[in-house]
Amino acid sequence: MKIGVIGLGWPGQQHIRAIQEWDDAVLTAVCDLDASKRSAFVGKCDVYPNIDHFFDTSDTEAVVLAVPHHLHANLAIRALEAGKHVLIEKPMARSVEECRQMIEASNRTGKMLMVAHNWRYTPWCVAAKAVIDSGELGAVQAVRTEWLLDFRASFPKGSWIYNGELAGGGAIVSLAIHNVDALRYLIGEIEEVYTNQLFTDDWSSEGAENWAMSQFTFANGAIGHLFTGYTPFYPPDNGMLYVYGERGTMFYGPHQGGTGLWIRSAARSEDSKAGYQLVDMKQYVPGMAGHAQTNQMRHFLDCVKNGQRPDTDGREILKTIHLTEKMYESGRTGKPVKVESASKSEGVI
């Protein structure tokens, strides 16, 4: 499959690495406004400094979009209407309405729309899902997740990502969207959310929160907590996810000098003093690559080839964006907010 990549920042580079891992995919075109980023691809594929020229002349069959959030909907629709399958970086768009327009374009053109929620394609997340579904932990009662990441080293002051209008929000959509989507994937749909936000004027503007905490009530009765921030003084990068069940606890994060998926359950040890055991993820995801984007690209290629619906297609990820909108509504009102069905509320089937 001939694939083009628009946007050559760090996410775009990860997608290019993934394309190069598969024999049935070839990078045929790249596009970026930054000449220094384009220069590395001169002589290796078609290089475009202009999006209009890219769409007018490139012979790509599919496009990866790794661009600022405010460009997502417009470029995705344009690519779909140009007859190209689309793999777009998270967040899918800035609003449910933009997501709906993208889904409609995919339906109208018959071209595939897949969202790059790469956590769903990591070995640890797939293995965690398998453990939960196996019943080893018993009924899930609670979950907590956190991600702190200092964006300031990568995005200087004044960057689009600190502008809530351009980014669609702040730390929730630009960072914790990973955690929010993982909660839906691992635990199930959320029925109610309550969010607190903190805004600081030194880095963010126009409704982009630096910090946020949310409490969730899941449809299955479990409760959850999320904490995120993208301007922490320290630590520069800290993420984790804990799942508490009736008969066991599992978490992903640092432990005993390494980061991995850890578990303590009645099924593995009756010793009340036994500690966490490292999960052998190969047991649950045999043959899965360690690089999430590589697995993600494989799924994208297979779905296009076989005409199947991606696990993270537009209709599925619209639900994640719908949830983040409710999180922001709660943050604005200071009250818990019910999360009704995204499909019913927005008329998307």
Give the pLDDT of residue 52. 95
Distances (CA, A) of 82 to 79, 141, 284, 312: 5, 47, 39, 22
Superfamily of domain 120-294+322-331: Dihydrodipicolinate Reductase; domain 2 (3.30.360.10)
Over residues 286-341, the pLDDT tens digits come to 889 889 999 999 999 999 999 999 999 999 999 999 999 999 999 999 999 999 87
Write b or e for each residue in 217-248: b if 16 or more Cβ atoms lie within 10 A of its Cβ, otherwise e: bbeeebebebbbbbbbeeeeeebbbbbbbeeb
Q: Are 169 and 251 in contact (CB under 8 A)?
A: no
CB atoms within 10 A of CB 41: 19
pLDDT > 70: what percent of the chain?
96
Interatomic CA distance for residues 24 and 297, integer angstroms: 11
For the chain, give every domain's residue range.
Answer: 2-118, 120-294+322-331
CB atoms within 10 A of CB 259: 13
Give the pLDDT of residue 205. 74
**Helix/strand number for the chain, H first, E second:** 12, 15
Give the pLDDT of residue 345. 47
Do β-strands 85-89 and 113-116 pair in parallel, antiparallel, or remain unpaired?
parallel
Domains 2-118 and 120-294+322-331 equal at CATH topology level = no
| pLDDT bucket at 346, cuts 50 / 70 / 90 | low
Give the pLDDT of residue 202. 76
Over residues 205-214, the pLDDT tens digits come to 778 999 999 9
CB atoms within 10 A of CB 298: 18
Cα–Cα nearest to 239, from 304, 152, 149: 149
Superfamily of domain 2-118: NAD(P)-binding Rossmann-like Domain (3.40.50.720)
Q: Is the pLDDT of residue 17 over 80?
A: yes
Q: Is the pLDDT of residue 204 over 80?
A: no
70-81 mean pLDDT: 99
